[in-house]
Amino acid sequence: MPGALTAQSEARPALSRALAAATAVTVPAGASGSEGPADDLTGTLAEALDAEGVAVHRPQLGTLVATVPSDAEARREARAAVEAVDEEAVRLRSAVKAQDGFFTTFCISPYSRYIARWCARRGLTPNQVTTASLLTALIAAGCAATGERGGYIAAGVLLLVSFVLDCTDGQLARYSLQYSTLGAWLDATFDRAKEYAFYAGLALGAARNGDDVWALALGAMVLMTCRHVVDFAFYEATYDATAGKSATAALSGRLDSVGWTVWARRIIILPIGERWAMIAVLTAATSPRIVFWALLVGCAFAACYTTAGRVLRSVIRKAKRTDRAAQALADLADSGPVASLVARVLGRPGARGAGVVFAAVATGGLLFAVLDRPFGDRQTVIAALGYAVLAGAAVARPLKGALDWLVPPLFRAAEYTTVLVLAARSDSAHALPAAFGLVAAVAYHHYDTVYRIRGGTGAPPAWLVRVTGGHEGRTLLVVALAALLADRGDDFTLALTALAVAVALVVLVESIRFWVSSGAPAVHDEGETA
């Protein structure tokens, strides 16, 4: 794992200096009590590492006991304290995420932890619970697809049951210490599969009642995926960046000291618990159109809120990005053969931070052309070619600018929205469902890239990106197909369907092969509420 080795090698000089500083401290003679020489050395070492800019994790012990006794009386007290700990209660508490959304923390976790213990005592594995959660969500999507009120009510109830099981699988893994690469991969990918399958079920149910909401369903998926890419790209850009504390971060810290503001800020970003609860309730009580409009409004507000805060933080802090961060952003950009060729030809033009400017101009120009020109207009093909060239210019220089983490989200917005707009404006029957399938397949590829990077294994193989065309190649292909097939009935729908199937087969086969056979340390974000 080159990324992990690089991070370790970069930390070694700081660790050496911190050890030298810590061991240079003279411990007072006759020190006693629980804070003995070992505690002094540990504290000094942690402070020295902090001074070197190395992040130090300080776990909250809670009711656990950690002490270094210095005499017989201290040892007796330590043993008594250890024996007084209720290990089962600690296991149950530790099975729940330290940080989670309001709905999950107060409405699900108080009882789902006991379901996890019940599963553990009967020999069930986290992967089995994860699979049960997926199957429940798929049944919920099938109920929603009936288009009947009874089906909608059953779908809402089953979606909540699926979410309870989704929480239970992780709690079961933590309670029973059953961690696996396959389990982490399943947990990371099934969340998106369940949510997007439910969107499709709602759209099918609405169509049975004569209400075409496929454009809203696809729009909700596009918005949700782009929002997640913003989260992922910002995380990778700032993971090991060095900078002083910004005013926005200081304000956030002050707000954290006021308990209710923590929960308020977690609720308004509409994490998975609140989002699924809203979807379930609105599905049972209203119509698919209302569900999707609520999703679009809520997620748009959440995306604006989080993105604006991160932009301000990035501009104020002016953090120094590392080579690792720049490579991660380049991998997330998903540049195909055309953009890669342009990047090599141009070399490294422009100043640092120009990447986001090129990406913004490319995205804006393409979307303006697609929205402004009639469906199938040849000028949109020229705009798509310009997009591919500017996309290459955006990644020609390492993405180390303050706002270069916006490059991958801009590319996702350009590709997904282009597919959405062309399908919506096409006269071809069922073009929007086909576009939904295409965006779902491509989004899976982008999520898979994220979790490979976070697992320390790097991006998917270069051949996979070349075969799937990269973001600019797929965008150019869809625009060209629209221009060629504009007057040929359902041929555009067939072309989108064929492209969706081809992309899905390639990325799924490679992804399954990688996660099942490679032994890579797949990572799911335990601290984040997606």
Helix (H, G, I), strand (E, B) or coil at 519: coil
For residues 309 and 324, give the distance between their C-alpha atoms in angstroms, rounded to a whole number.
23
- Cα angle: 476, vertex 378, 332; to 5 degrees: 15
- Cα angle: 97, vertex 101, 107; to 5 degrees: 90
pLDDT of the residue at 479: 97
CA–CA distances in Å: residue 418 to residues 227, 316, 375, 475: 17, 33, 11, 7
For residues 428 and 202, give the distance between their C-alpha atoms in angstroms, rounded to a whole number.
21
Residues 335 and 319 sit within 8 Å (Cβ to Cβ) = no
User: CA end-to-end span of the chain, whole Å?
Assistant: 26
**Of 20, 57, 58, nearest to 41 (Cα)?**
20
For residues 50 and 225, give the distance between their C-alpha atoms in angstroms, rounded to a whole number.
35
Q: Which long-range contacts (CB under 8 A, 24 or more apart) does 53-61 make?
A: 53/14, 53/242, 54/11, 54/14, 54/15, 54/18, 60/98
Residues 324 and 3 sit within 8 Å (Cβ to Cβ) = yes
pLDDT of the residue at 28: 43
Residues 85 and 514 sit within 8 Å (Cβ to Cβ) = no
Segments of the chain scoring below 50 in pLDDT: 1-12, 22, 25-38, 248, 251, 255, 524-529
CA–CA distances in Å: residue 72 to residues 30, 69, 266, 328: 15, 8, 48, 53
**Of 145, 241, 159, nearest to 194 (Cα)?**
159
Residues 397 and 355 sit within 8 Å (Cβ to Cβ) = yes
For residues 108 and 91, give the distance between their C-alpha atoms in angstroms, rounded to a whole number.
17
| Tokens encoding 103 | 């709905």
For residues 161 and 176, give the distance between their C-alpha atoms in angstroms, rounded to a whole number.
22
Number of H helices, E strands in the chain: 23, 0
DSSP 62: T
Helix (H, G, I), strand (E, B) or coil at 242: strand
Q: Can you give the residue ranges of every domain in the chain?
A: 103-240+256-308
Across the strands, what pairs with 320? 242
Residues 527 and 462 sit within 8 Å (Cβ to Cβ) = no
Which amino acid, residue 432? L
Helix (H, G, I), strand (E, B) or coil at 320: strand
**Burial of residue 123, with CB atoms counted within 10 A of its CB: 0-12 exposed, 13-18 middle, 19 or more buried:** exposed
For residues 328 and 331, give the distance between their C-alpha atoms in angstroms, rounded to a whole number.
5
| Tokens encoding 300 | 């748009």
Buried b (16+ CB within 10 A) or exposed e, 442-474: bbbbbbbbbbbbbbbbbbbeeebbebbbbbbbb
- Cα angle: 7, vertex 13, 19; to 5 degrees: 115
Across the strands, what pairs with 242? 320
Domain 103-240+256-308 -> CATH class: mainly alpha
| Tokens encoding 422 | 């062309």
Which amino acid, residue 184? A
